């Protein structure tokens, strides 16, 4: 597997590749959800590029950034075993020669749901994804539906800026008890992990959004939002884990009442 750190190094390799290039951008700490994205890319393309970069511009909470899990050696082993050909692992200076003076902003959907609770988050996401697309030059890029708001904003960005990459959404991978896989799950205490599936279960409950907020609060969750938009119900909750908090997000097709 080819490990790439510099843009010039990658551009030389990219120029030699024939056929299609699939791209899976990640922040590392790979789990079965990322595995599904990589498998899909490997199956659908001649080459697959994985990027691992914990993007500081999308964190509005320094604590969350400092504690973001890192499992680099395991990540590389997983990628290699799945047939990923190239891993791009840039530094901040490589991706942000402008020191984030230039940004991609969206003025509507970004202000709702996670955007309303994490100011600047999606500007950081869209900016880094546009930079990565411009460097990697993929034919297809794969994103999980677990981050449905992110997926929608990236799809719309590609359309708005006439970018020639196909954005592919991949179904959320869940634990047997329904909890959506996330790198953040590793930070749940055993007690919080045992309670967490109540969140995904209640999201599918056909009662109103307000009734679900009430039910979650009675079950001890601190609710950021439960809202239905564009035919999907979105939710975010914060779980108290004693020394720290863990924020979980999820979404499901709008439950039929």
Angle in degrees, 0-180, between the axes of helices 32-44 and 72-82, rounded to the nearest 10: 30
21-26 and 2-4 beta bridge pairing: unpaired
Of 203, 210, 94, 109, residue with least CA distance to 153:
109
Residues 6+ apart with CB under 8 A from 31: 173, 181, 182, 183, 185
Closest CB to ligand PAF among residues 25, 90: 25
CB of residue 16 vs ligand PAF: minimum separation in angstroms?
A: 25
Closest CB to ligand PAF among residues 25, 85: 25
Q: What span, in angstroms and rounded, lies between the C-alpha atoms of 141 and 8?
A: 21
Residue from the set 4, 22, 23, 25 that interacts with ligand PAF by CB under 6 A: 25
List the catalytic residue out of 5, 31, 34, 171: 34
Check residue 182 for interaction with ligand PAF (CB under 6 A).
no
CB of residue 255 vs ligand PAF: minimum separation in angstroms?
A: 25
Residue from the set 21, 22, 26, 236 that interacts with ligand PAF by CB under 6 A: 26
Check residue 82 for interaction with ligand PAF (CB under 6 A).
no
Whose tokens are 């511009």? That residue is: 57
Site for ligand PAF in 132-151 (CB under 6 A): 147, 150
Of 83-91, 123-131, 159-167, 187-195, which segment contacts ligand PAF by CB under 6 A? 123-131
CB of residue 2 vs ligand PAF: minimum separation in angstroms?
A: 19
CB of residue 223 vs ligand PAF: minimum separation in angstroms?
A: 22
Token pair, residue 48, equals 């697959």
Check residue 125 for interaction with ligand PAF (CB under 6 A).
yes
* Residue 245 CB neighbours (<10 A): 15
Q: What span, in angstroms and rounded, lies between the C-alpha atoms of 100 and 62?
A: 17
Site string for ligand PAF, 48-67 (x = CB under 6 A): -------x--x---------
Tell me the C-alpha to C-alpha distance, in Å, between residue 111 and each of 108, 121, 127, 149, 153: 6, 10, 16, 11, 11
The 8-class DSSP code of residue 27 comes to -
Q: Tell me if 83 sits within 8 A of 121, measured CB to CB.
A: no
Of 20-28, 69-77, 84-92, 206-214, which segment contacts ligand PAF by CB under 6 A? 20-28
Of 21-29, 111-119, 171-179, 237-245, which segment contacts ligand PAF by CB under 6 A? 21-29
166-170 and 140-144 beta bridge pairing: parallel
47 is annotated as an active-site residue: no
Interface residues with ligand PAF (CB under 6 A)?
A: 25-27, 55, 58, 125, 128-129, 147, 150
Which residues are designated catalytic?
34
């Amino acid at each position: 597997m080819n490990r790439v750190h510099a843009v010039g190094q990658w551009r030389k390799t990219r120029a030699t590749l024939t056929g299609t290039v699939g791209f899976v951008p990640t922040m590392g700490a790979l789990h079965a959800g990322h595995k599904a994205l990589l498998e899909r890319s490997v199956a659908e393309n001649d080459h697959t590029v994985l990027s691992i970069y914990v993007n500081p511009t999308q964190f509005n909470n320094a604590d969350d950034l400092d504690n973001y899990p890192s499992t680099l050696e395991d990540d590389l082993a997983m990628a290699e075993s799945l047939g990923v050909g190239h891993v791009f692992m840039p530094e901040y200076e490589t991706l942000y020669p402008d020191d984030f003076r230039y940004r991609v902003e969206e003025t509507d959907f970004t202000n709702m749901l996670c955007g309303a609770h994490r100011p600047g988050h999606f500007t950081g996401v869209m900016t880094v994804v546009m930079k990565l697309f411009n460097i990697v030059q993929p034919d297809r890029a794969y994103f999980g539906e677990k981050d449905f708001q992110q997926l929608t904003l990236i799809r719309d960005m590609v359309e708005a800026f006439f970018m020639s990459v196909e954005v592919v959404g991949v179904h959320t991978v869940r634990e047997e008890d329904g909890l959506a896989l996330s790198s953040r799950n590793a930070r749940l205490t055993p007690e919080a992990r045992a309670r967490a599936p109540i969140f995904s279960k209640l999201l599918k409950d056909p009662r109103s959004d307000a009734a679900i907020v009430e039910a979650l609060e009675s079950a001890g969750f601190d609710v950021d939002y439960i809202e239905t938009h564009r035919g999907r119900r979105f939710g975010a909750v914060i779980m108290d884990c004693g020394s720290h908090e863990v924020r979980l997000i999820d979404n499901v097709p709008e439950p039929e009442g």
